[in-house]
Chains A and B, each alone.
Chain A
């Protein structure tokens, strides 16, 4: 027994628990269940209902949900006096409860009434309240409030505030007049309630019930059918999910039927639901993986003029090797990734897709079309939430991922790229999948590095603290990896990685890995080589990221501090001739990436063109990970962009625009792609700078270029 543990006795069973454990938890961990009403495990205990009272041998009975264990405590959870006390409590509450309440009528699971029955309370000795303090409130479109059924357990308040951080519900009044209130005692519909349903889900009684409106969230369509709870529970994947919950959220799950050839979701559309395939096959693909947005000219006509002038066209120069290789897979929001060469894959029964859209409201990453007649379940976030907590569901999800996508994800890590099949398959079975909530830190700077992480879903923010400011290094989307140096157990983490939204990671621990290296010694050499390369790169990155913090109001206000490369137009030389814009358009299929308008700094115009920000906000949320930064500075948008527009709205400077490309022979529908300045990364010099007749356009590093204005010598890099 170590210092931080203690031993007590609950119902005669000796129990060892860490300090700080409540009696309730201690009992629960040891299989003893104590009934509660106001306690929910995901909320802080408040001990207002007193149902969980236990006999600790003290003067008064203690509420187990809040009372911490003490050494050598002797607890009785179900002795006769305790049970009698509970019964009285139930009766007292029932006296104030319109039994049977709405919930009991509908689904028979009003916790108060069912627990009372289970505790042996059949009739209530006390007189019922004549007039309830408040009546019913029907103003909310989704939740029906019955103040009479409220037992003031505080679960709804805690749910709204602690879990949802909406802070709508509170108590009002005192004594017998106490009731819950929304905002400043507004009707629920007039308050700032967002109808998330957390209070309803938390409410043990029928005080807050679901107004059953079919497809209130999912839209009324011909092929949407409500699903009976029994039907759902019959599905193997729903085993273990609370029926009550499903009942309550009946509108949040619908069954859809699709004919063969019908499009289920379209890439780039916004959405908020996930789909679970019950029957049938579907194919998932991206419609337009063509080089619309790159600088490489892709002209098909080979007339004489075109051939001759192609010699004058800028040629690809100085491309680094790793940037030449197109990526092998496009990561999408499905159990399988799309191969770049032929971006189409198959989904079948038991596959869940649209997870990221549902959880984090990102746009659809690919188009799904039914290959055969399909039956699918479409569900909202709350349902998916619960599903993901469900063990059966998770097991299936993980199995799918392991068998279909994990290997390709592993292969995308350079260290693993050229490893043998055997090694990879071995590795695949040793990995663990972890989930992180938004904001949660995965690994911190200076932590001992002991694992490699692969992002299965969501966005991970990689940042460093520099002089008390957080500097974001990258946003890692699905399929990205970080911490590979941890595999060798080398040193400490150089950056903090935290979850930006709902993130699921694949973790490869160093111990596991080292064990495998004993089997494959030649791999170690490769790894060490990569590790050396990485440290060198890191050192370079460090040097580049050092920034001066000397403030100049306008400089900061315009966000120029964040920029690593600015396109500035010297207004003293510029004759406003538009040559730069024309050149940019010529080099980019007729779509200009720069605008000659924006804010000024000194006598320069900061043109509206990608600034290669240190903190690339544009990259957050890309559903297909097409906007990214390769090894160099330039932010590029790969050609499988689905045109959802998230990056364009994320960019605070308006440097990204969604352009509509008209239909062509092989692509009958117009297509939207995000376009932004890519520094003409395939050329030696940006086209706009090259084409300016008056030497007015410059691509500069703002810290160096404006150093004289910021009062500092430029940092040596």
Chain B
């Protein structure tokens, strides 16, 4: 989600809420004397914080039933961002900025971690999609990248295999005459070089999930392919360019994998911590109210 102008109402509401709640807290804290979560205003803030956290957690459930007409998911997402952020100051006010005992210390730490990781995630979601869009022109569906990689390898094999046919002085593509054994003595060394380059570099690059070969470097790749293009006659240019494009696509898909993992990896921190937070906060609420 890009944090753009449409978020202004939410931002304003959050700031107003923080002010109002802080003012209420200060006023009541003055008169009540002992500041803690057990005072009426502290309890109210605590209930509010719990409510905000539970609502934030409900986003996961909302996404599980995407077609239920209970509010657009984008509205839920915005509410999650802003109200979830609001939970932090409310929790701090509820706790009167101190934590005593292992459970409450853990809760404070978790709240801060969850909200901070959420902020980081929001920032990632703000910046990475644009980056991905610009850097990965060949972007595709992440889950399918493996399969597409296989396709690319096959396509590259096929394209490279057509080199001889393209260079053959025959009637051209579509001819019913097939040349199975072609001898082009004058171009043999170049063809061999192309094939060896293809075997050693290109195949190793395209076929491997996380290649560590020189082709990963775009500059080197461009140089090498330009060299090959100069080496071979112009009829072979389509083949070489196609193989180069396939390599470029593979390179971009690798980049996409990295960016995608960055875009989604932070959830590995945010979600488990928030699950623990909800669990502990419910235990805390029950414990503090009953005991």
Residues of chain A whose beta carbon lies under 8 Å from any beta carbon of chain B? 309, 312-315, 571-579, 582-583, 586-587, 595-597, 600, 603, 605, 687, 690-695
Q: Which of B67-75, B83-91, B98-106, B163-171 participates in binding chain A? A: B67-75
Answer whether residue B19 sits at the interface, using C-beta atoms and an 8 A cutoff. Answer: no
B2 CB–A CB distance under 8 Å: yes
- Whether A572 and B67, one on each chain, are in contact in the complex, defined by CB atoms closer than 8 angstroms, is no
Instruction: Check if A687 sits within 8 Å of B67, measured CB to CB.
Output: yes
Binds A, one of B27-35, B127-135, B212-220: B127-135
B68: chain A residues at CB < 8 Å are: 309, 312-314
Q: Which of B32-71 contact A (CB under 8 A)?
A: 59, 63, 65-70
Q: Output the least CB separation between A204 and chain B (Å).
A: 32
Docked-complex contact A693 and B76, CB < 8 angstroms:
yes
Do the beta carbons of A692 and B141 come within 8 Å of each other? Answer: no
Q: Which of A312, A583, A596, A687 contacts B141 (CB 8 A)?
A: A596
Asked whether B159 is an interface residue with its Cβ less than 8 Å from the other chain, the reply is: no
Q: Which residue of B lies closest to A582 (CB)?
A: B66
| Contact assessment for A690 and B65 in the assembled complex, using a CB-CB cutoff below 8 Å | no
- Check B66–A690 contact: CB distance below 8 A: yes
Q: Which residues of B contact A315 (CB under 8 A)?
A: 69
Q: Which of B72, B76, B133 contacts A571 (CB 8 A)?
A: B133
Smallest Cβ-Cβ distance to B124: which chain A residue:
A575
Chain B interfacial positions (CB closer than 8 Å to A): 1-2, 6, 59, 63, 65-70, 72-74, 76-77, 125, 128-130, 132-133, 137, 139-144, 260, 263-264
Determine whether the beta carbon of B73 is less than 8 Å from that of A572: no
A579 / chain B contacts, CB cutoff of 8 Å: 63, 66, 73
Least CB distance, B77 to chain A, in whole angstroms: 4
Contacts of A695 in B (CB 8 A): 1, 6, 74
CA distance A691 to B77 in the complex (A): 10
Contact of A595 among B74, B132, B141 (CB under 8 A): B141
When the two chains form their complex, are residues B141 and A575 in contact, meaning their CB atoms are under 8 A apart?
Answer: no
> Are the CB atoms of B67 and A313 closer together than 8 Å?
yes
* Cross-chain contact B72 with A690 (CB below 8 angstroms): yes
9 closest A-B pairs by CB: A691-B66, A583-B66, A312-B68, A693-B77, A571-B133, A694-B1, A695-B74, A693-B73, A687-B67
What chain A residues lie within 8 Å of B143 (beta carbons)? Answer: 578
- Considering only CB atoms, which chain A residue lies closest to B68 in the complex? A312
A603 to B6, CA, bound (A): 19
CA distance A312 to B70 in the complex (A): 7
Q: Which residue of B lies closest to A694 (CB)?
A: B1
A314-B69, A579-B73, A694-B77 are contacts. A572–B140 as well, Cβ < 8 Å? no
Question: Is B129 a contact of A587 with CB atoms below 8 Å?
Answer: no
A304 to chain B, nearest CB (A): 16
CB distance from B72 to the nearest CB of A (A): 6
In-complex Cβ contact of B129 among A575, A582, A690, A693 (8 A): A575
**Interface residue from B65, B129, B137 paired with A312 (Cβ < 8 Å):** B65
Report B-chain residues with C-beta under 8 Å of the C-beta of A582.
66
**B176 to chain A: closest CB distance in Å?**
8
CA distance A572 to B137 in the complex (A): 13
* Neighbouring A residues of B63 by C-beta, 8 Å: 579, 691, 693
Name the contact of B132 in the complex, choosing from A571, A596, A693, A694 (C-beta under 8 A). A571
* Contact present for B125 and A583 (CB under 8 Å): no
Q: Assess the A587–B141 pair: CB atoms within 8 A.
A: no
Chain B residues within 8 Å of A586, by CB: 65-67
Known: A595-B141, A693-B76, A695-B1. A309 touches B129 (CB 8 A): no
A-B contact pairs, 22 of them (CB 8 A): A312-B65, A312-B70, A314-B68, A314-B69, A571-B129, A571-B132, A571-B133, A574-B129, A575-B125, A575-B129, A575-B263, A576-B129, A576-B263, A576-B264, A583-B67, A587-B67, A595-B141, A596-B141, A690-B72, A693-B1, A693-B63, A695-B1
Cα–Cα distance between A515 and B73 once the two chains are bound (Å): 62
CB distance from B146 to the nearest CB of A (A): 14
Residues of B within 8 A of A574 (CB): 129
Residues of B within 8 A of A587 (CB): 67
- Taking the closest CB of chain B, its distance from the CB of A307, in whole angstroms, is 14
Contact in complex: B74, A692 (CB < 8 Å) = yes
Given contacts A571-B129, A693-B1, 13 further A-B contacts (CB under 8 A): A313-B69, A572-B2, A576-B260, A576-B263, A582-B66, A586-B67, A595-B141, A597-B144, A690-B69, A691-B63, A691-B66, A693-B76, A694-B1
The dominant DSSP class at the B interface is helix
Interface class of chain A by DSSP: loop
B133 touches A572 (CB 8 A): yes
Chain B residue contacts of A313, Cβ below 8 A: 67-69
B2 contacts across to A, CB distance below 8 A = 572-573, 694
CA distance A486 to B141 in the complex (A): 52
In whole angstroms, what is the CA distance A603 to B134 when docked? 9
Q: Give every chain B residue within 8 A of A603 (Cβ-Cβ).
A: 133
- Residue ID in chain A nearest B142 by CB atoms: A576
Chain A neighbourhood of B133, CB < 8 A: 571-572, 603
Give the residues in chain B near A690, CB-CB below 8 Å.
Answer: 66-67, 69, 72-73
Expressed in whole angstroms, the Cα–Cα distance for A596 and B143 within the complex equals: 11
Chain B residues with Cβ below 8 Å from A600 are 137
State how many angstroms separate the Cβ of A80 from the closest Cβ of chain B. Answer: 56
A593 to B65, CA, bound (A): 17
Tell me which residues across on chain A come within 8 A of B6, comparing CB atoms: 695
Which residue of A has the minimal Cβ distance to B144? A597
Contacts of A573 in B (CB 8 A): 1-2, 129
Question: B80 — nearest CB in chain A belongs to which residue?
Answer: A693
Closest chain A CB from B1 CB (angstroms): 4
Contacts of B130 in A (CB 8 A): 571-572
- In the complex where A573-B2, A575-B129, A694-B1 touch, is A597 in contact with B141 (Cβ < 8 A)? yes
B105 to chain A, nearest CB (A): 33
Q: CB-CB < 8 A to B140: which residues of A?
A: 597
CB neighbours of A687 from chain B (8 A): 66-67
For A580, the closest partner residue in chain B by CB is B66
Interchain CA distance A174-B130 in the complex, whole Å:
72
Q: Shortest CB–CB separation between residue A508 and chain B, in angstroms?
A: 46
Please give, as numbers and ranges, the residues of chain A lying within 8 Å of B76 by CB-CB distance.
693
Most buried by A among B66, B67, B140: B67
- B68 CB, min distance to chain A CBs, angstroms: 4
Q: Which of chain B's residues have a CB closer than 8 A to the CB of A583?
A: 66-67
Give Cα A693–Cα B1 distance, bound, in whole angstroms.
8
Which chain A positions have C-beta within 8 A of B260?
A: 576
CB contacts (< 8 Å) of B69 on chain A: these are 312-315, 690
Chain B min CB distance to A40 (Å): 32
A495→B35 CA distance, assembly (Å): 81
C-alpha gap A690/B65 in the complex (Å): 11
- Chain A contacts of B128 at CB under 8 A? 575
How far, in Å, is B254 (CB) from chain A's closest CB? 16
Closest to B76 in A: A693
* Residues of B contacting A575 in the complex (Cβ-Cβ under 8 angstroms): 1, 125, 128-129, 263-264
Q: Given the complex, which residues of A lie within 8 Å of B132, measured CB to CB?
A: 571, 576
Contact partners of A596 in chain B: CB under 8 A: 141
* Distance of A595 Cα from B141 Cα, bound (Å): 9
Alpha-carbon distance between A84 and B70 when the two chains are bound, in angstroms: 97
Interface centre among B1, B66, B68 (most CB of A within 10 A): B66
Task: Report Cα–Cα, A572/B74, bound state, in Å.
Answer: 15
Query: How far apart sit A603 and B144, CA to CA, in the bound complex (Å)?
Result: 22
Q: A394 CB to closest chain B CB, in angstroms?
A: 42
* Complex: A596 Cα to B142 Cα, angstroms: 10
Query: Closest Cβ of chain A: how far from B121's Cβ, in Å?
Result: 10
- Separation of A315 and B69 alpha carbons in the complex (Å): 9
Max chain A Cβ within 10 angstroms of own Cβ: one of B65, B68, B139: B68
Give the distance in Å from the alpha carbon of A578 to the alpha carbon of B142 in the complex: 10
Docked Cα-Cα span, A313 to B140, in Å, equals: 31
Report how far A594 CA is from B143 CA in the complex, Å: 15
Which residues of the other chain, A, contact B139 by a CB distance below 8 angstroms? Answer: 571, 605
Contacts of B70 in A (CB 8 A): 312
Residue ID in chain A nearest B4 by CB atoms: A573
**Distance to closest chain A CB from B175 (angstroms):** 13
Q: How far is the CA of A491 from the CA of B141 in the complex (A)?
A: 54
Q: How far in angstroms is the closest Cβ of chain A from B65? A: 7
